[in-house]
Structure 1
Amino acid sequence: MTKLYFVRHAHSTYTPDELNRPLSERGFSDATKVTNLLKPEGIDLVVSSPYKRAFQTVEGIAEYIHRKVEIIDDFKERTLTTVPAEDFTLAITKVWEDYHFSWEGGESNIVAQKRGVDATFDVLERFKDKNVVIGTHGNIMVLIMNFFNKQYDFTFWQNLDMPDIYKLTFEGKVLRNVERLWERL
């Protein structure tokens, strides 16, 4: 069995620079909790979105296991639009209501989901029978989970914590179990 620990990043300080937005003070505190929660899980390696807030959320567990974080671009957050949405709630609701719809310059759910699932399958193939932490983002994480089980939907995304951790257990490419770890705190 391969265990993938999807970690939605901790709270970040808002800046318009998506790539370099850092964790907030609360985010750093929660990242320490993420590390402590993952320590007993026997983690073999850590991969992350290139976004700073995702990387910073999982770098503590990488340091604990004496490994570098491997950046995997396709675990970055979905692109909703090229310019900030005037009404974020409307914009995000629309793409979840119609999986094929995208705002100008943005990714539809289908396109973003394919990117995330392809990255997931690559990790499953390269790291078979390993315990892998994946530092990522809420929307892309839920789109990946939704591919394997439709119960992980827009409502599920709306109820995620920041950070949040879901352990997905795979046999080959078949999802066998999902367990939320963040609720242990």
Structure 2
Amino acid sequence: MSPAEDKTIYLIRHARASGQEPQAELTAEGAVQAERLAEFLAGRGIERIVSSPYLRALDTIAPFAAAAGLPVEEDARLAERVLSAAPLPDWEERLRASFLDPELRLEGGESGREALERGQAAIAELERSVGAGKAGAAVSHGNLLALLVGAFDPSFGYDGWRAMRNPDVFELAIGEGGARIRPIRDGK
């Protein structure tokens, strides 16, 4: 496979939102971020977009999709990981522990491994559908994206999650030599 036959998947974290619930809207700042993201993604050969069904993810990619004339396909496998069904005052400590133990599952929640497996299935399906030399975009959420990035870069983990931005973009290059992932921020 030549470099022209490689495929690229852009893993995108949603822009700044008003909350964490599925119907949380983008803030005014988030709406501006979504417009800038559209400019950033233009010309990158994206031919398919899949997104978490959460409103903040859909609204993050909407300006790019409109400009590119592409539909946004909702995929529940890209929804944010549910850490626990119960409110957790120490949620961040529990989240940190879940990065160290991918089998850790809190009451009513999903283990890191379970979330990773569903996310990987969505990304693999997207990759198979993208033409040689082309790209796809997957819009999701911080915890799930951190798990996906960590599958390619084991050093990412909890600290990588803490360093993520809203929005954030990771470029997953897939070719004959395997897959490489890197953050691409601020046009770099």
TM-score by length of 1: 0.91
Shift of 1:154: 1.1
User: Do residues 44 (structure 1) and 47 (structure 2) align?
Assistant: yes
Provide Cα deviations, 1:110-149, integer angstroms capped at 9, x if missing partner: 1111111111111111224231111111111121122222
Give the one of 93, 96, 112 matched to 2:96. 93
Query: Number of paired residues?
Result: 182
| Residue equivalent to 1:131 | 135
Contact residue 45 and residue 62 of structure 1 kept, 8 A = no
Aligned partner of residue 151 in structure 1, secondary structure: coil
Contact residue 50 and residue 72 of structure 1 kept, 8 A = yes
| Residue equivalent to 2:153 | 149
Shift of 1:173: 9.6
Shift of 1:88: 2.0
| Residue equivalent to 2:166 | 162
Distance 1:128 1:137 in 2: 25
Distance 1:151 1:12 in 2: 27
Structure 1 unaligned spans of 5+: none
| Residue equivalent to 1:55 | 58
Provide Cα deviations, 1:29-79, integer angstroms capped at 9, x if missing partner: 111111111112122121101011011111111111111101111011111
Provide Cα deviations, 1:2-54, integer angstroms capped at 9, x if missing partner: 11111100110126xx2211111111011111111111212212110101101
Give the one of 1, 10, 18 matched to 1:5. 10
User: Do residues 183 (structure 1) and 186 (structure 2) align?
Assistant: yes
TM-score by length of 2: 0.90
Aligned partner of residue 64 in structure 1, secondary structure: helix
Distance 1:108 1:181 in 2: 28
